[in-house]
Amino acid sequence: MSRRTRLNQEMITNKALEIADRNGMETVTMAALAGELTIKSPSLYNHFKGLTEVKQAMSVKAIDLLYQHLKEAGIGKKEGSETIRAIGKAYIEFAKQHPGTYDASITAPYPYSENFQLAGEAIVGLIRESLSVYSLNEKEIMHVVRGLRSLLHGLVDLKRKGGFNLQVDIEDSQEMSLETFINGLNR
């Protein structure tokens, strides 16, 4: 029998992201990963140096997936608030649909991966373009990009960590907060 296709880094990384999305990032262990790939955990060391390296690979793939998702959301939108709104909503949606992958995307791998850095800069570039209608200098642009990213991450992360008591709809809060920030860009 067998006839099993040989395992490689990509297949392992995909399975790891799948587990993270299904059961949470903290359940991605060498044992769980090996189990789902129907091998024993020491065999994984033929492909990765250790769990840290697996997580690095997850980060790189994850931030790239996030970038693709945000890019598509921005296509065809008018520059300025319309694009920012679209990207912001896509960010929140991505985190909701792929919680584990999102988690992986915000954990910067150490040591720093070039691919991770590149994908991160691509996302910055995406937002940067949408800001061209506001007259901001280079530094101000970076501040705004960081602020927007922070707001979006905070909205996503606090929801996930149970930081909001219910009663008031969370998605409404996310939408309204984004509007407040966008509104604040006009001075």
Partner DNA sequence: TTGCAAAAACTAATGGCGTTAGTTACAATG
Partner DNA sequence: CATTGTAACTAACGCCATTAGTTTTTGCAA
- In sequence order, which residues have a C-beta less than 8 Å from that of residue 89 and are 6 or more positions away? 73, 175, 178
Please provide the size of the chain in residues: 187
Picked from a second copy, DNA, none, the partner binding residue 143 (CB below 5 to 8 A depending on kind) is a second copy
146 binds DNA (CB under 7 A): no
In the chain, how many H helices and how many E strands? 8, 0
C-alpha to C-alpha distance for 45 and 112, rounded to whole angstroms: 21
Contact yes or no for 146/181 (Cβ under 8 A): no
C-alpha to C-alpha distance for 120 and 138, rounded to whole angstroms: 17
72 binds a second copy (CB under 8 A): no
Stretch that binds DNA, among 23-31, 71-79, 121-129, 162-170 (CB under 7 A): 23-31
Candidate list 52, 108, 111, 135; residue touching a second copy; CB under 8 A: 108
14 binds DNA (CB under 7 A): no
75-111 burial code (b ≥16 CB/10 A, e <16): eeeeeebebbbbbbbbbbebbeebbbbbbbbeeebee
Candidate list 3, 4, 6, 139; residue touching a second copy; CB under 8 A: 139
Q: Which of residues 30-59 bind DNA (CB under 7 A)?
A: 30-32, 34, 38-43, 45-47, 49-52
What does the binding site for DNA look like in residue numbers (CB under 7 A)?
Answer: 2, 4, 6-8, 29-32, 34, 38-43, 45-47, 49-52
What does the binding site for a second copy look like in residue numbers (CB under 8 A)?
Answer: 106-108, 110, 117, 120-121, 139-140, 142-144, 146-147, 149-155, 157-158, 161-165, 167-168, 170, 172-173, 176-177, 179-185, 187
